[in-house]
Chains A and B, each alone.
Chain A
Amino acid sequence: MIELPEGKTLLDGGVSPTSDVKVVPAQPRTERMTRVLLIEDDDETAHEIVAEMVDRGFHVERAASGRTGLDKARADEHDVLIIDRLLPEIDGLTIVETLRRDQVRTPVLVLSALGGVDDRVRGLRSGGDDYLAKPFALVELVARVEALLRRPTDTRETKLRIGPLELDLIDRIAHRGSRQIELLPRECRLLEYMMRREGQTVTRAMLFEEVWNYRFVPDSNLVDVHMGRLRHKVDAPGEPPMIHSLRGSGFVLRAPA
């Protein structure tokens, strides 16, 4: 289930990663490419993840076992590690613990077929930065990796500004240009979360976990309704939209072009 990124078609060939070693990304980038190490023993899952991430411009290295994964994680500099929890030889959580003991601070996303709340807690306690239960949508994985790469650094700021949008966290008042926007407490937190992740895809599950602090996703489109309210306030009729819905994945806040 590959989700195609916007603007890409099935017919233009895309990228088909052939092996589990280093994969050259399709689009050259000017800045240094983000280096991702994926430790995953299932070939098919790894193949799909690598394909998706390469499409998104990541440089992906894959290890198929815990032992080689740990060696690679120690040998090379990576920007983010994606580690499956159940691995041959050394299990995922042990790798994370070992790396953390060795003072390796690289952000880690733990993948696991174990989706229980306690499993999640254990995964995060061992040193993982985020925990994604299988099965997951690839967009969810990418969004979380991006979130780990661009973690908001200064959370002490009390005023956020993106384009014409300004948010005062103390007074809980936002302004778009000269227009004042009244926000409910939850809307304020939602907008803050979005503004701190400008240009980044945030998924419904991420919002639910981070803004509402809940680990379960109700089956109604709750997050969409809340986001709809917020968008209604932020993007008044006639103004270029700043909050965008991404079909099948989540939302993104961008400064108007």
Chain B
Amino acid sequence: MPLPEFTRSTTFQWAIAIAGAFATGTLVLFGFVYWETATYMTARIDSVIGSELTVIAAEPPELRMHLVDTRLEGDPRRIKVAGLFAADGRRIAGNVERRPSDLTPDGKPHDIEIVRLDVRGSEPQMIRAVALNLPDNGLLVIGRNIDELGDIADIVERALTLGILPALAIAIAAGVLLSLRAQRRLEAVVQTVRRIVAGDLRERLPVRGAGDPFDQLALIVNGMLDEIEGLIQEISGVGDDIAHEVRTPLTRVRASLERGRENAATLEELRAIADRAIGGLDKSLAIVTALLRIAEIEHGRRLAGFGEVELAGVMHEVAELYDPVAEDRHVQLDVEATDIVNVRGDHDLLFEAIANLVDNAIKFTPANGRVELKLLKHADDIVIRISDTGSGINETERDFVTRRFYRSDKSRCTQGVGLGLSLVAAIIKLHGFRLAIGAGPGCTIEIIAPRA
């Protein structure tokens, strides 16, 4: 017969283990109590019979008989034993049937078995006894029945049985109950997870509100599910976006090729159409490339390229790269980065992020405007600020910019593939930095790196 399901639960197994340990502990404790009691009682018996022996042996022979008899009087529990034997082994007084042959007469206590004689007849008894040879070659035996010790053992045993069995039963019952309860909660979780795996991402693990570890775990998992659900929604939204963004130029390419095939009269016209088509294809490909790059960065595969990056240097490089472009557009590009500040990161990626932001800033700044690239050292962080005198990003859109894949720059981005800020966000996230978009007059974007 297979064991019931709950016996496999950890709770149950723990309950059994603890019950076992408890039982063992109790046994040891009771054993100790018994052993201590028995030792104490034996010592007391030994001292009593020892002193009686000494007292009686010291008396003259006729008094001894009397004393032995007196000793045996008033013994309702029939535990006192005494015997006085003549040199030839004949019993003179006492309640011991015959001279015990296996009792060494050395005055020290020994455990022996004797036959007790009294008014109620003869009866074998285990006794603790001392014996001493008398000057007249007789033998004096003083003893005490030790069945008492057995009684104590019985009492201890009974107490043990009464105490330990219910305790064990309670422990096992609690184990079964707890494991059944855990089992039921686990079952509920398993069912929920199955539904989630089957595709119902809105499901959440049950939380009782008791704040126990099970609830805490459920809360963490639910938090994770929220994040996953959010991501999946974003990605499916992005999927639509990508399809749309890639399809638009492809549709144009298709239309222009179709018209070109029908209408182009000269090679020049055909070439112009082919050029436009190639341009459109390049644009679609650029979108795909940009998305793959964002994915590459987001998967964090580039952490291997991390090292110390000197930010001011990177910023000057970017400025050098974009200076001619800015000049062509009559935009003033200023860099203010004198402090030597190192951060941990990927030089090329940081360059790319800053370059993208500067590229955007220059594009959206009208002629005679200004783009500023500044490195700020604050108490807790390092800020790379890119500000321009362009149109800025309106407040409602600001929140979306840092969100993955969201093409917030729709209004600002009239050309290019419009994934620049998503790429920047991915790079910033990989580095564990923050991106902040500030208020106008123009647009201020800050890359905030914690100070090492």
User: Interface on A for B, CB 8 Å cutoff?
Assistant: 1, 4, 9-11, 115-118, 135, 137, 186, 212, 214-216, 218-220, 222, 225-226, 228-229, 248
Residues in A neighbouring B416, C-beta threshold 8 A: 219-220
Which residues of chain A are near B355, meaning CB under 8 Å? 218
Mark each residue of chain B from 400 to 443: 1 if its CB lies under 8 Å from any CB of chain A, else 0: 00000000000000011100100000000000000000000000
A218: which B residues are within 8 A, CB to CB? 355-356, 359
Q: Which of B286, B292, B321 contacts A212 (CB 8 A)?
A: B321
Please give, as numbers and ranges, the residues of chain A lying within 8 Å of B363 by CB-CB distance.
220
In the bound assembly, the distance between CA atoms of A9 and B274 in angstroms comes to 13
B301 contacts partner chain A, Cβ-Cβ < 8 Å:
yes
Return chain A residues, CB-CB under 8 Å to B289: 115
Interface string of B85-129 (1 = CB under 8 A from A): 000000000000000000000000000000000000000000000
A116 neighbours in B (Cβ, 8 Å): 292-293, 296, 301
Measured in the bound complex, the distance between the Cα atoms of B305 and A115 in whole Å is 17
Surface stretch bound by A, among B213-221, B243-251, B322-330: B322-330
Instruction: Give Cα A88–Cα B201 distance, bound, in whole angstroms.
Output: 40
Residue of B nearest to A135 (CB): B285
* Known pairs A219-B416, A219-B417, A220-B325 / 20 extra A-B pairs, C-beta < 8 Å: A9-B267, A10-B267, A10-B270, A116-B301, A117-B305, A117-B348, A118-B304, A137-B278, A212-B321, A216-B293, A216-B348, A216-B352, A218-B355, A219-B359, A219-B415, A220-B359, A220-B363, A228-B324, A229-B324, A248-B275
Residue of B nearest to A134 (CB): B285
A222 close to B302 (CB less than 8 A): no
Task: Report whether B328 and A225 are in contact in the complex, using a CB–CB cutoff of 8 Å.
Answer: yes
Residue from B301, B305, B324, B417 with most neighbouring chain A CB atoms (10 Å): B324
Enumerate the 3 nearest inter-chain pairs by beta-carbon distance, A residue then B residue, closest first.
A219-B416, A225-B324, A116-B296
Per-residue A-contact encoding for B252-289, CB less than 8 Å = 1, 0 else? 00000000000000010011001100100100011001
Instruction: List chain B residues, Cβ under 8 A from A117.
Output: 296, 302, 305, 348
Most chain B CB neighbours (cut-off 10 Å) among A10, A218, A229 = A218
Q: With A9-B267, A116-B296 as given contacts, are A215 and B325 in contact (CB-CB < 8 Å)?
A: no
Tell me the complex Cα distance, A117–B328, Å.
31
Residues in A with CB closer than 8 Å to B320 are 186
Q: Which residues of A contact B281 (CB under 8 A)?
A: 1
Bound Cα distance from A218 to B324, whole angstroms: 15
**What separation, in Å, do the CA atoms of A140 and B355 have in the docked complex?**
24
Picked from A9, A135, A215, A220, the residue with its CB within 8 Å of the CB of B348 is A215
Known contacts A118-B301, A220-B325; A1 and B278 CB within 8 A of each other: yes
CA distance A164 to B270 in the complex (A): 39
Report the minimal beta-carbon distance from A220 to chain B, rounded to whole angstroms.
Answer: 6
| Centre residue among B286, B305, B325, B420 by max chain A CB count within 10 A | B325
* Contact A11 B267, CB 8 Å, known A115-B289, A115-B292: yes
Q: Closest B-chain residue to A133, C-beta based?
A: B289
Interface flags for B293-309 (1: CB within 8 Å of A; 0: not) read 10010000110110000
B351 lies within 8 A of chain A by Cβ: yes
Query: A216 vs B325: C-alpha distance in the bound complex, in angstroms?
Result: 17
CB-CB under 8 A from B293, the residues of chain A are: 116, 216
